Structures are given as structure tokens and as C-alpha cells.
Structure 1
Amino acid sequence: MHQRFEQHSEIPSTDPLVIIQAADQAGQVTALQDYLDHFQVRQPGIIPIKTPDRLVMVKTTTIILAEVQAATLMVYTVDGVVETRETLRHLVERLGSPDFVQVSKHSVLNLDHLLSLEDSFSGNMTAALTNQLKTAVSRKYVKLLMQRLGI
């Protein structure tokens, strides 16, 4: 990746204009755009998760995996499991961190808790996570996961 600074007095330094030039919008370009989208957005250290009977405060660094089972979102942490009716999409938006990667239509994992990946059948993979958790990585999401891992 190359970079260059051009000074333009009409563009304020508090709101710079970033232009990305490449042959196509893939690979590092997409990762860079994601990074820029989240630049200066304060990542929450703790997020509240509403359960049927209370509001649980969860440290985002302790979240290993979030997975939809039936109509319930299971949030697996290093301390246990929190069940909620929140949608997976809404949780990912609230997390707002590039460390959380969608690996199937029904699950998102935290890269900080990913231990290994194994080939599975039909182009799918299996992700081994901390706390002896495993989840399937759909072949539709394998490419995105590899990009996030820098592979």
C-alpha cells in the first residue's frame, strides 16, 4: 500500500478528505474503508445486553461468539452465556469493532478468541475458539474472514 499527503488549504484538518485509488474495490481497499468508517468512533468497553429478567453489562473483550439459535441470540463470553432476543445485526452494530467478524448467517466471532481454523466439507471451515467453543464458518464468509486475518 502506498500513501501520499497533499496539502489543500480549503479542506479543514479537522475533517480531512480521504480518497482511495485502486484497480477495484476488494481486499485491502475494503478493509481500509472499514477502518476509516470506524476511525475515531469510540468503541464501547462494556455493552448492556437485555435478557428476559435483567440488563447484563458485558465487557466486549470477553465476548467469544454470538450465535442465533431458534429465535434467541446466545452471547458466549469467557464467563458464561447470555441469552437475549436482540438481533445479531443490532449486536454487531453496537459492538462496532473490526475484531468481530461474521462467519455465517447466524454467527459472529471475536478474532481475539480465535484459536484455529480447520477445513470442513464443501468449502466450509470450523473455527476453534477459547472456552472450547467451535462454530462453522460458511464458505460465503471464508473470504471475508481470511481478509480480516490478513491472509
Structure 2
Amino acid sequence: MVRCRFEMDPQFSVAEPEVIVRADSKNIDIQDLIAYIEQYQNQLSSAKILPVKTNDQLIMLKAEAIILADIQQSTLLIYTVDGIFATSETLVHFAKRVDNINFIQISKHAYINLDHLLSLSDSFSGNMTATLSQNMKTDVSRKYVKSLMQHLGIK
């Protein structure tokens, strides 16, 4: 049985709670508790708002609404559940700003949000095709297939 006690520490902001787990041993209950806390933490980070500058406005996008970020020529297209937004931001800079465990690079020119990944199918030359929310499809280059599979927990 795991007993929990919650205390407020006035040194910490309510917006950024710190959780400390203390136990005599790391049994299955403690491991489950730690996994739950990590899952909660990931949900908090996925609620991140990302400002994106287009040609004529600054748009606030929720990271969880972003399906795909793809460079086409010199324009970064950000595909969301609400539409497509074009920006001159680089893919590398976008990836650093999104900083979310659910986003993974799948090619030299694209990142996807794994929360919107519906399926993967074999394509030509060792590549794969990712089917995403909103009936979107994009190529996963063979260079990134292994890391994607590892990220998904598949060997």
C-alpha cells in the first residue's frame, strides 16, 4: 500500500509544482506512481502554446493541435486541426521551440506530432508512409524509420 501526502511549499509557484517521491523501496506501486506523475508532466508540456509569425499576423497555436510541420522550399507549413499556417521560421528553430516528447523528426524536412499518427505503412526503398489525422499522409525517410520505431517502443 502506498500512502501519499501532499504539502504546499510557498517557495514554489503553483504553476510549476515540484513532486518528490520518497519510499523505503522502489516497488511496483512506487513505479506506477512515478509513471503516472511522468505522464501528467507530459500532458502539461503538451498543453504548450506556440506563437507562430505568419506574413500578416502572430498566431497562438496549441502544440497538441499541431499535426505536422513540413518545409516546402523555404516556407515552413504547420498543419493543425484548424488549418495550415505558413511561416518563414526554420524547421530546426521550430523543433527547439516546440520541445515536446510527442514531436519527432521523420525526414530532413518534417516533424510530426505522434498524438496524430494513425498508422505507418511500408513504402518504396525502405521508406514508410505515415497516415496522420485530417487524412494527411507524409513520407518517413528510411534514415528516420529506426528512431521513430524506437520512440514508439517497437524493435
* TM-score between the two structures when normalised by the length of structure 1: 0.72
The one of 92, 95, 108 equivalent to 1:89 is 92
- Highest Rg: 1 or 2? 2
Answering whether residue 139 of structure 2 is matched by residue 136 of structure 1, we say yes
Question: Secondary structure of the equivalent of 1:97?
Answer: coil
Question: Secondary structure of the equivalent of 1:142?
Answer: helix
Question: Secondary structure of the equivalent of 1:102?
Answer: strand
Structure 1 segments of 4 or more deviating over 6 A? none
Deviation at 1:45, TM superposition (A): 1.6
Q: Which residue of 2 aligns with 1:61?
A: 64
Deviation at 1:98, TM superposition (A): 1.2
Deviations 1:27-81 (A, max 9, x none): xxxxxxxx9xxx89x7362110000111000010000000000110000000000
The one of 38, 48, 51 equivalent to 2:51 is 48
Deviation at 1:124, TM superposition (A): 0.2
Q: Which residue of 2 aligns with 1:118?
A: 121
Q: Which runs of 5+ in 2 are unaligned?
A: 1-17, 19-37
Q: Which residue of 2 aligns with 1:8?
A: none
Query: AA paired with 2:130?
Result: A
How far apart, CA to CA, are the structure 1 residues paired with 2:80 and 2:151?
21
Higher helix share: 2
Identity %: 56
Question: Secondary structure of the equivalent of 2:59?
Answer: strand
* TM-score between the two structures when normalised by the length of structure 2: 0.70
Aligned CA RMSD, in angstroms, stands at 1.8
The one of 67, 71, 75 equivalent to 2:74 is 71
